[in-house]
Amino acid sequence: MAFVIAIAQQKGGAGKSTLAANLAAALAARRRVALLDTDPQATLTRWAELRARHQGAAALTFDAPSGWRVTGAIDKLKRDHDVVLIDTAPHAQTDSRVAIRAADLVIVPMQPAGPDLWASEATLQLATAEKRAARVLLNRVPAQGRLKEVILAELATRKLATLGPGLGNRTGYATAFMLGLGVTEAAPRSTAAEEITATLAALARLMKT
């Protein structure tokens, strides 16, 4: 049975789809990965369409179920994949609740800033209510300044754990996305690729426990 990961955050633009694509692409090099786009905005669907043009890109199963079909799609894909990754819509809608309920782990991407932290609370509460393990992934972390430390301290007082060191603010993520690739494929020697690899290592430790 697959390990199911829901990527959720009620704030739009937090990096859910970027993270889902990059984790899926990097994991697909070694594992059987299914990627589900449950956001009506269909960002990942566009990414998957672009990806289909790359014959060298690691194969992954893609589906974009909605409404009552989401749970069934997850259950079906769980059987013959190692990892099922679910990208969700903003606004803690019903579909993201369904994804969180089905997940072994909820990853909440969050930019290190007050409004983003406050916006994350609803998603994190939903994960707690569903008794799901959750990890915050700091995204678009500025290279300079103390913002990351301030937010990490805030997370610690709320007993919220992070997943890996997080991702910096890098154009490489958008460039790879436009090609239907992950940064580990489009720019394997980049800092962005190192960040995704570090995130995967942190994820692998969680998946073992």
Ligand X SMILES: Nc1ncnc2c1ncn2[C@@H]1O[C@H](COP(=O)(O)OP(=O)(O)O)[C@@H](O)[C@H]1O
Locate the DSSP E strands across the chain: 3-7, 33-37, 61-63, 83-87, 105-110, 133-138
Residue 38 binds: one of ligand X, Mg ion, none (C-beta under 5 to 8 A by kind): none
Residues 40-69 that bind Mg ion (CB under 5 A): 43
Judged by CB under 5 A, the stretch of 11-19, 30-38, 168-176, 191-199 that binds Mg ion is: 11-19
Please give the Cα distance from 74 to 44 (Å, whole number).
Answer: 16
Binding footprint of Mg ion, residue count (CB under 5 A):
3
Q: Is 59 a residue that touches ligand X (CB under 6 A)? A: no
Strand 105-110 with 3-7, pairing: parallel
Chain center to CA of 147: 22
Backbone angles phi, psi at 132, to 5 degrees: -105, 145
Nearer to Mg ion among residue 16 and residue 81 (C-beta): 16
Q: Is 25 a residue that touches ligand X (CB under 6 A)? A: no
Q: How far is the CB of 209 from ligand X (least distance, A)?
A: 27
Q: How far is the CB of 13 from Mg ion (least distance, A)?
A: 8
Backbone angles phi, psi at 79, to 5 degrees: -65, -40
Q: Interface residues with ligand X (CB under 6 A)?
A: 9, 12-18, 43, 139-140, 167, 169-170, 173-174, 177
